[in-house]
Structure 1
């Protein structure tokens, strides 16, 4: 849902953000970070998901589970998981490996143009997650350049970017480097089965751990 030049997040304890905002979501992938990323993509905008460690089929099913509507005009996936999703049709593009950052960038740009050409001038992008890209590259610099390119495109196009990373899988220095192109960091954790978040880098957002309401 959008209001003017801002993106809104119904059902989540986050205030709306300006168009062109990029958020880095940090937290163990199995402890609510994946679900929260997908919930941040909900709305009437175009949706582009780059998935590096979960098949496109599973990502789309998870998106539906949080209330997302799978509309082939509006929703696109770039899969670099080495799992065959070709039968899902043109709205899923495949790249051979999470290490092929150039290929991922090309497919992402192509899918962005497809969504834009169908009349969706506001697009939410989710990267699900950055951790495999870093594992395959063995060097933070190419991944940093890739992230910088994607976030710059989102900023220029007045989109919204949500990229997830598991901080427990990397040195703190790596996470801090990757965080540089982002406007803010959203930390996620799970406490006794409840997902909590806090935001660093943006005003008017919860700076202390705040409960995320469960899906209805």
Structure 2
């Protein structure tokens, strides 16, 4: 989660739960650690409307000031062999936020679909819940669990994805220290490393 978004989440906790700043930060981190995203805790314990959260936090974030087109990311995505790989997004954000991010990065046409946390649903389903992984498999038309490959920057999500028998890659930001306990079999700090990890999925002249 970027710092700007974390600040907005903290302010949401302060405003809607009548907490002071310190307690808001602590509760935010607790819910993120326990559930994978803050809105799960807000919905479960405080009956907060997820769509209100999305409106005041994710959709209000000035992403156009933070995210710019990423040519290197686009080249890597273009180099996947589409006869062997279906690129699919899996996000705990609402669909509006997910689509906004990939559009600003200039890669919105690189994915065949998106599985998102439906904030309008009666019950939220999100990573790392097993139901979210099953939902992604259904929506992406995955032939089997064993043929799913997952890249995520959350230690919690990666642990659960690997337990679900997905081939899992934990992406750790270069500025962060590596976790004491690996989340999954694979761990990288540069997405370009995917080329050497899984050369079979890239076009022969680019892997």
Q: What TM-score comes out, normalization by structure 1 length?
A: 0.38
Q: Tell me which protein shows more strand as a share of its residues.
A: 1
Q: What TM-score comes out, normalization by structure 2 length?
A: 0.39
Q: Tell me which protein shows more helix as a share of its residues.
A: 2
Larger radius of gyration: 2
Larger RCO, structure (CA 8 Å, separation 6 or more): 1
